[in-house]
């Protein structure tokens, strides 16, 4: 077993770039940090840091080891929290975490006593999936999920997609837009990996997916581009409620085009219950009739 104290010293050395800075960050004496690294290198049989008069540099093997070292430290912290704390680590795909989940976190933290903390981590859907599989999250709410035998999953919410246009766009008064009309519109793209491309392939079928315009990387960037008249885009309805209410954007419903957002958590051993926040979301989903 790798000593987590030694791993912390290695990570601090690599992140700060020097033994002195690492010692300061960890609140240790510099010789102690050096000793930790020496013991770790002896245990693994690999040189991890090259020392010189001008400073120190992590070796190629150390850089390759860093993601595993940080994951091990994260798992170590989670194990201690399971024994002594009550903090749940919850991941959310970017749009879900930004536009949908916050009220549920608040209601969970305020509706009952003795509930712990929620550490909400918002990231792109593929990154959330990786963290979940690596054991860095207790649960996640995602735009898409491939079933895995170690995890439970449940439909959490059905979220319609809408076409957003600027108020002076030719389609602004259309009311709604049908599939055969939508396919001819070039679309501004948002965050990659959100599963929208797969959903559109299924929705449009033989008609083909609408042409892609600029890839802007986030829903917020897409909204600004549409407001500026640079094009149109498909987004979750919840992501544009404020802009539609203020008149900055127009959202056109699209019959039959929706995302089925998934709640995922690791299967608990034996007859143990899912994490508290998962149970809270399941209760809310049951109340909504899902």
Burial of residue 278 (number of CB atoms within 10 Å: 0-12, 13-18, 19+)? buried
Q: Work out the pLDDT band at 123, boundaries 50, 70, 90.
A: very high
Work out the average pLDDT over 152-177. 93
Tokens representing 13 are: 């050395």
CA distance 91 to 127: 9
Can you say how many angstroms the Cα of residue 254 is from the centroid of all Cα atoms in its chain? Answer: 27
Task: Convert the pLDDT of each residue in 25-82 to its tens digit.
Answer: 999 999 999 999 999 999 999 999 998 777 789 999 999 999 999 988 887 877 776 6
In whole angstroms, how far apart are CA 130 and each of 125, 127, 137?
A: 9, 5, 9
Beta bridge mates, 152: 265
Q: Work out the pLDDT band at 257, boundaries 50, 70, 90.
A: very high
Name every residue whose Cβ is closer than 8 Å to that of residue 33 and which is 6 or more positions away in sequence: 9, 12, 13, 19, 22, 23, 26
Tell me the residue length of the chain: 290
Cβ(49)–Cβ(62) under 8 Å? yes
Is the pLDDT higher at 183 or at 125? 125
Can you say how many angstroms the Cα of residue 195 is from the centroid of all Cα atoms in its chain? Answer: 13
CA distance 62 to 37: 11
pTM of the full structure: 0.73
Q: Work out the pLDDT band at 111, boundaries 50, 70, 90.
A: confident
Q: Work out the pLDDT band at 289, boundaries 50, 70, 90.
A: low
Tokens representing 224 are: 């600004």
Average pLDDT, the chain: 88
Predicted local distance difference test score (pLDDT) of residue 96:
95
Domains (range + CATH), the chain: 4-82 (1.10.10.10), 86-157+261-288 (3.40.190.10), 160-257 (3.40.190.10)
């Amino acid at each position: 077993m790798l000593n987590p104290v030694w791993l912390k010293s290695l990570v601090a050395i690599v992140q700060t770039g020097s033994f002195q800075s690492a010692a300061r960050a960890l609140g240790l004496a510099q010789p102690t940090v050096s000793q930790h690294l020496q013991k770790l290198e002896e245990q693994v049989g690999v040189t991890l840091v090259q020392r010189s008069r001008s400073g120190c540099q992590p070796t190629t093997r150390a850089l390759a080891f860093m993601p595993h070292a940080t994951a091990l430290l994260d798992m170590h912290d989670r194990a201690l929290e399971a024994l002594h704390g009550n903090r749940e680590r919850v991941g959310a795909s970017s749009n879900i975490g930004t536009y949908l989940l916050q009220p549920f976190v608040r209601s969970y933290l305020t509706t009952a006593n003795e509930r712990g903390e929620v550490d909400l981590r918002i990231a792109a859907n593929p990154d959330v999936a990786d963290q979940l599989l690596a054991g860095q999250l207790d649960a996640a709410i995602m735009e898409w999920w491939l079933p895995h035998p170690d995890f439970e999953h449940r439909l959490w919410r059905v979220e319609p997609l809408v076409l957003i246009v600027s108020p002076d766009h030719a389609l602004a008064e259309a009311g709604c837009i049908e599939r055969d009309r939508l396919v001819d519109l070039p679309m501004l793209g948002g965050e990659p990996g959100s599963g929208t491309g797969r959903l559109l392939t299924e929705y449009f079928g033989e008609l083909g997916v609408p042409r892609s315009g600029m890839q802007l990387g986030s829903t917020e960037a897409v909204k600004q581009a549409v407001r500026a008249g640079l094009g149109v885009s498909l987004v979750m309805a919840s992501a544009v409620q404020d802009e539609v209410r203020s008149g900055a954007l127009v959202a056109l419903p699209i019959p039959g085009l929706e995302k089925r957002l998934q709640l995922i958590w690791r299967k608990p051993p034996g007859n143990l219950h899912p994490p508290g926040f998962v149970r809270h979301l399941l209760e809310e989903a049951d109340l909504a009739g899902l």
